[in-house]
Structure 1
Amino acid sequence: MSGIPEDMRVINLGLPKSGTTTLGEALRRAGFRVADWKIRPGQSKSIRGFVGKLMYSGWFETGDPLHYLGEFDAFTEIDVIREGKNLWPQSDWALLAAIRATYPGARFLLSWREPAAHADSMRRWSNLGRSRLPENAVPGLPAGFGHAPGELERWIEGHIAFCRQVFAGAADYMDYDTADPDAKARIGAFLGVSLPWWGKANENRNHPGSEAD
């Protein structure tokens, strides 16, 4: 496999706790410049902040969602639901289409997990699944929904279906189950790069579940 093409941008459409940190670590070790959820001190010479907020700033100010993120070529978690922000670029087709039009080399991944296990992981991760998601109006999950059994699961299923529908038949899209033993090979083949590492990152050690997060 070749090195990373100069025009490649990798955008993961996965929801929180769907293996986004693992994907980020794998791409980082493969040589990608990864922005995972937030640009932290030392990552950039000029910008700080949440990836999702920077995407929307670029989109509305210039028409290019990656305008402020030129130092990076992989974006592994792009939502934010904290500090008064509630942004979900992975559910916004206009924004995704703008990335697609501006960056012909862009590749879109969807990391997903079996919905029941995924929802359980969200509920155990700080207050994400217990209050932040149910108390905010999230695309596909209106405020007030998400507390009852099955509601987060249905939202997760809906997001997977949305991504598969809007990218149906597209060569620049691939989704993968994080539990698939062939995930590393499939992602590498899709991107045309060799992934030297694949494992489990950002596990919930305070509230472990039956499977790693």
Structure 2
Amino acid sequence: MSGVKLVNLGLPKSGTTTLAEALNKAGWCAADHKVRRLHTSEPTLGGTFVARQLYNGYFNSGNPFEFLDMYDALTEISVLKVDVSLWPQCDYAVLKAMRMVRPEMLFVATWRPAAELSDSMRRWNNLGKDRLPSGTLPGLPRGFGQSDAERIRWIEGHYDMLRDLFGDDPRYLELPVAAPDARDRLAAHIEMDIPWWGRANVNTENPADPAKGAA
């Protein structure tokens, strides 16, 4: 399959950048959050958000990958800014379109325990303190998401939705990024060697409290 052949449906801070680095070091070209200018000669694409281009393709032709097939994988597909909130991994219509236009498409959902993921969101660039409660997200309306309890409920609901949607579909892999065999699981899923697996995009400015066990 040429073009995009794997999409990560995990939430931010679930290991999306780690997945991108692992796939890039394995020889794929992965888009993480943005379309990089070095990956396209089209000036209107470089610097744009992956999420925006997924929706541009979906609403233009029904094919979410119409403008992204310079990539093998999309590892961070959401964006949350003051003026834009796009979450295709939470959008049933977009997920259905992905599966219809690419029947052999592989999906991954990078996963961390909800409490750890919530804590990581809280500490990352005011994501939990300001941006989540100020945004409008699927399953997390404006005004919700400032507390751990609210974020955890939203996080658990997202992964439950994916489990309900994909069931036992072999094209879908929920990937606990901290599992000792995470690299082996990913390698088996995409049927290629993964020479590197570790931790990327670690929050060094506001590290986790070791007592909480979060990364």
- Correspondence for 1:139: 138
- Correspondence for 1:172: 171
Residue deviations 1:5-48, cap 9 Å, x none? Answer: 54661100010000000000000111111111001232222122
- Correspondence for 1:37: 33
Q: Unmatched 5+ residue regions in structure 2?
A: none
CA RMSD of aligned residues (A): 1.4
Query: For residues 142 and 8 of structure 1, do their structure 2 counterparts lie closer, same or farther at Cα, with a shift above 3 Å needed?
Result: closer
Contact 2:4 2:71 in 1 (8 A): no
Contact 2:54 2:67 in 1 (8 A): yes
- The reply on whether 1:92 has 2:91 as its aligned counterpart is yes
Q: List structure 1 segments (4+ residues) > 4 angstroms apart after TM superposition.
A: none
SS of corresponding position for 1:69 = coil
Amino acid at match of 1:84: D
Of 13-22 and 143-152, deviating more is: 143-152
Contact 1:89 1:96 in 2 (8 A): yes
Aligned length: 209
Distance between the aligned counterparts of 1:31 and 1:109, measured in 2? 18
TM-score with structure 1 setting the length: 0.94
- Correspondence for 2:23: 27
Cα distance, 1:135 vs. partner? 1.2
Amino acid at match of 1:195: I
SS of corresponding position for 2:107 = strand
Q: Unmatched 5+ residue regions in structure 1?
A: none
Residue deviations 1:41-75, cap 9 Å, x none? Answer: 32222122000000000000111000000101100
Amino acid at match of 1:183: A
Contact 2:82 2:135 in 1 (8 A): no
Aligned pairs for 1:65-80 (under 5 A) are 65-80=64-79
State the identity %: 44
Contact 1:13 1:108 in 2 (8 A): yes
- Correspondence for 1:125: 124
Cα distance, 1:148 vs. partner? 2.7
- Correspondence for 2:8: 12
